[in-house]
Amino acid sequence: MSNEPIIFYDIPSTAPGCAWSPNTWIIRYALNLKGLEYKTVWVEYPDIADLCKRIGAAPSMIRKNGSPYYTLPVIEDPATGTVLSESLLITEYLDATYPGTHALIPPGTRTLQRSSYDHVTTASTEYIMPAVADILRPRSKGYFVRTREESFGKKLADMTPTGEAHEIAWKELEAGFGRVSSWMKDDMFVMGDVVSYADLVVAGEFQWFKKSFGEESDKWKDMLTWQGGRWAKLVNNLQKYEGPAEEAPISE
Amino acid sequence: MSNEPIIFYDIPSTAPGCAWSPNTWIIRYALNLKGLEYKTVWVEYPDIADLCKRIGAAPSMIRKNGSPYYTLPVIEDPATGTVLSESLLITEYLDATYPGTHALIPPGTRTLQRSSYDHVTTASTEYIMPAVADILRPRSKGYFVRTREESFGKKLADMTPTGEAHEIAWKELEAGFGRVSSWMKDDMFVMGDVVSYADLVVAGEFQWFKKSFGEESDKWKDMLTWQGGRWAKLVNNLQKYEGPAEEAPISE
């Protein structure tokens, strides 16, 4: 067993605080909620696959063409020698390995926690891509734009709807969160008065928009009003678990 | 307080055992799992709205044009005077009102249980409509075909894809269940070794296909093999909670 902090691999940006990715935010919140010591290692997009292969982190999925798809978050825990990818698996691991800390996937809820994930994450991807490209650092940006345009089969600039379709898509995005909100009734968190993985998924989505569009954007200001401001309250409630603002290394 | 059994409103069919609707199956299972006394009252489709208005059951949704949409299941509990629609709300009510019985929505999991619902229910609707029409009794069938064709804007016979598209759609349906299955790992039930609402949703979907296509159909036989037969095991495991096979009243 080593006393070294957990190594948490994240993707840098030029946004304030550096962290921006919705999925890595889940683990950033989780580590802070659990009070575990960690050290962020920033990895530019073109380096993610090589890193994962080198340290033995599994791909998060296999593409239809059979090739592995490597993503962050990934953690490396010197205390146990464990290397793990994917936010749900990492959260499960942290719950099991550090039982004295805040449990984020209460017993019996893993499948349910995972199934809640899709409700707030499916609608937004195409919407936010161009804004993400704008906050990435140069090496990541080139890689991100090329791979996303290949994957979606269109120019990034053409992915976000415009004019009336833009208004409709934005309302649909809000409606996705509205569905979850209606199930939550007056609860602060998905499971009532205790934070769990599902809340971190929602908060991660909000961080994604905040960092990509910026705090001064109309989009972010609008999101803070969604569902009577309930998500603004959630993000605010979790602010103490964001950890310190970080900076990416100067060299790329 | 009355000792009269709970009145459970369900839609009849010509299929064996009469019950076929995925959403009412959730409550049929729930009542049996809880060991509560109930009496089924069969309601043909054209009579559902009038019944709900008469007994004071809320519509399950408001259509885009502002009109209320009434659906079953609905229960009427003489012991408390409660009339309730919608499977999740009814299940919550039964958990709260009959605390000595099997809890189907463990504390803190309501939002999560509800969010799991969509994963196995969105893909199948258009697929199964024509088969449902075939098992309805004449009054319901005419009403069902007319309202569904209006709502979907096409003939029922044209809703199910044909040829290669049929094969693809069927595989996608299986993949939807496969996603849930992958999150469940080796667990028998969504929450591990204890049945909860989410399992009844899955089992209800399976009953829907079993009753609509028939036990001898290739589709049903194929579904029993999905995900290594895990759902066949689930439905089999819950068979003791199906209650006695019922018959619709002779007159319509």
Count how many residues are written for chain B: 252
Q: Which of A62, A105, A111 to mutate to test the interface with B (most CBs of B within 10 A)?
A: A111
User: Which residues, at least 6 apart from B85, have a Cβ–Cβ distance to it below 8 Å?
Assistant: B52, B57, B58, B59, B60, B70, B71, B72, B73, B74
CATH of the domain at A45: 3.40.30.10
Q: Which of B115, B119, B194 to mutate to test the interface with A (most CBs of A within 10 A)?
A: B115
Same domain, B213 and B157: yes
Q: How crowded is residue B216: how many other Cβ atoms within 10 Å of its Cβ?
A: 7
Between B58 and A120, residue with greater pLDDT: B58
Task: Give the residue from chain B lying closest to A114, CA to CA.
Answer: B183
Per-residue model confidence (pLDDT) at position A124: 61
Domain that holds residue B225: 113-240
Question: What number is the average pLDDT over the span A221-228?
Answer: 96
Give, rounded to a whole angstrom, the gap between the first and last alpha carbons of chain A.
Answer: 32
Mark yes or no for CB contact B115/A183 under 8 Å.
yes
- Taking 70 as the threshold, does the pLDDT of residue A231 lie above it? yes
Give the integer Cα–Cα distance in Å for B124 and B128: 6
Give the integer Cα–Cα distance in Å for B5 and B40: 10
Mark yes or no for CB contact B114/A183 under 8 Å.
yes
State pLDDT tens for residues B159-201.
Answer: 888 888 888 888 888 888 888 898 898 999 999 999 999 999 9
Which helix or strand (DSSP H or E) is residue B75 part of? strand B74-77
Mark yes or no for CB contact B190/A107 under 8 Å.
no
Amino acid code (one letter) for A4: E
CA distance B137 to chain A (A): 34
Per-residue model confidence (pLDDT) at position B29: 98
Per-residue model confidence (pLDDT) at position B126: 73
- Taking 80 as the threshold, does the pLDDT of residue A122 lie above it? no
Q: Which of A112, A120, A179, A180 to mutate to test the interface with B (most CBs of B within 10 A)?
A: A112
Per-residue model confidence (pLDDT) at position B134: 94
pLDDT band at B21 (very low <50, low <70, confident <90, very high): very high
Give the integer Cα–Cα distance in Å for B77 and B85: 12
Of A109, A192, A194, the CB nearest to B191: A109
- Taking 80 as the threshold, does the pLDDT of residue B117 lie above it? no
In a domain, B249, yes or no: no
Query: Helices marked H in B98-137 — which ranges?
Result: 110-121, 125-135
Chain A residues with CB within 8 Å of chain B CB: 106-116, 118-119, 180, 183-184, 187, 190-192, 194, 198
CA distance A93 to chain B (A): 15
Could you give the number of structural domains in chain B? Answer: 2
Mark yes or no for CB contact A198/B112 under 8 Å.
yes
Per-residue model confidence (pLDDT) at position A230: 96
Give the integer Cα–Cα distance in Å for B10 and B48: 9
Per-residue model confidence (pLDDT) at position B252: 54
Taking a C-beta distance cutoff of 8 angstroms, is the pair A193, A187 a contact? yes
pLDDT band at A251 (very low <50, low <70, confident <90, very high): low
Percent of chain A surpassing pLDDT 90: 71
Per-residue model confidence (pLDDT) at position A123: 59
Mark yes or no for CB contact A112/B180 under 8 Å.
no
- Taking 80 as the threshold, does the pLDDT of residue B211 lie above it? yes
Same domain, B74 and B27: yes
Lowest mean pLDDT among B135-139, B183-187, B221-225: B183-187
- Taking 90 as the threshold, does the pLDDT of residue B119 lie above it? no
Mark yes or no for CB contact A191/B111 under 8 Å.
yes
In a domain, B29, yes or no: yes
Distance of CA A241 to the CA centre of its chain: 14
Same domain, B137 and B99: no
In a domain, B247, yes or no: no
β-pairing verdict for B74-77 and A74-77: unpaired
Per-residue model confidence (pLDDT) at position A210: 96
Question: What number is the average pLDDT over the span A103-113?
Answer: 94
| ipTM at complex level | 0.83
β-pairing verdict for B38-42 and A38-42: unpaired
Give the DSSP letter string of B140-162.
HHHHHHHHHHHHHTS-GGGTS--
State pLDDT tens for residues A39-56.
Answer: 999 999 999 999 999 999
In a domain, B91, yes or no: yes
Between B207 and B117, residue with greater pLDDT: B207
CATH of the domain at B157: 1.20.1050.10
Q: Identify all chain A residues contacting B184, using CB atoms and an 8 Å cutoff.
A: 111
Q: Identify all chain B residues contacting A114, using CB atoms and an 8 Å cutoff.
A: 183
Q: Would you state the structure tokens that stand for residue B117, as one six-digit string?
A: 């619902």
Taking a C-beta distance cutoff of 8 angstroms, is the pair B119, B211 a contact? no
Q: Which residues pair with residue B189 across a beta bridge?
A: B192
Q: Identify all chain A residues contacting B92, using CB atoms and an 8 Å cutoff.
A: none
Q: Identify all chain A residues contacting B109, using CB atoms and an 8 Å cutoff.
A: 109, 112, 191
- Taking 60 as the threshold, does the pLDDT of residue A252 lie above it? no
In a domain, B108, yes or no: no
Angle in degrees, 0-180, between the axes of helices B110-121 and B163-184, rounded to the nearest 10: 150
Q: How crowded is residue A155: how many other Cβ atoms within 10 Å of its Cβ?
A: 11
Per-residue model confidence (pLDDT) at position B121: 61
Same domain, B219 and B164: yes
Q: Identify all chain B residues contacting A118, using CB atoms and an 8 Å cutoff.
A: 119
pLDDT band at A121 (very low <50, low <70, confident <90, very high): low
Of A112, A119, A191, the CB nearest to B198: A112
Give the integer Cα–Cα distance in Å for A92 and A26: 12
Question: What number is the average pLDDT over the span B84-105?
Answer: 97
Residue A69 main-chain phi, psi, to 5 deg? -115, 110
CA distance A59 to chain B (A): 16
Same domain, B233 and B189: yes
Of B116, B183, B191, the CB nearest to A108: B191
Maximum average pLDDT range among B2-6, B132-136, B166-170? B132-136
In a domain, B96, yes or no: yes
Per-residue model confidence (pLDDT) at position B120: 65
Lowest mean pLDDT among A120-124, A214-218, B242-246: A120-124
Percent of chain A surpassing pLDDT 70: 96
Same domain, B157 and B85: no
CA distance B190 to chain A (A): 6
The closest of B47, B19, B44 to B32, measured between CA atoms, is B19
Same domain, B84 and B143: no
How many contacts does A have with B, using Cβ atoms within 8 A? 62
Chain B residues with CB within 8 Å of chain A CB: 106-116, 118-119, 180, 183-184, 187, 190-192, 194, 198
User: Which residues, at least 6 apart from B212, have a Cβ–Cβ distance to it below 8 Å?
Assistant: B15, B20, B128, B131, B132, B134, B135
Lowest mean pLDDT among A145-159, A185-199, B213-227: A145-159
Task: Give the residue from chain B lying closest to A198, CA to CA.
Answer: B112
Between A177 and A11, residue with greater pLDDT: A11
Between A163 and B217, residue with greater pLDDT: B217
Same domain, B176 and B231: yes
Q: Among B41, B72, B103, which residue terminates a domain?
A: B103
Same domain, B94 and B120: no
Q: Identify all chain A residues contacting B107, using CB atoms and an 8 Å cutoff.
A: 192
Per-residue model confidence (pLDDT) at position A45: 96
Q: Identify all chain B residues contacting A198, using CB atoms and an 8 Å cutoff.
A: 111-112, 115
In a domain, B246, yes or no: no
Q: Among B56, B80, B103, which residue terminates a domain?
A: B103
Per-residue model confidence (pLDDT) at position B103: 97
Of B111, B118, B183, the CB nearest to A110: B183
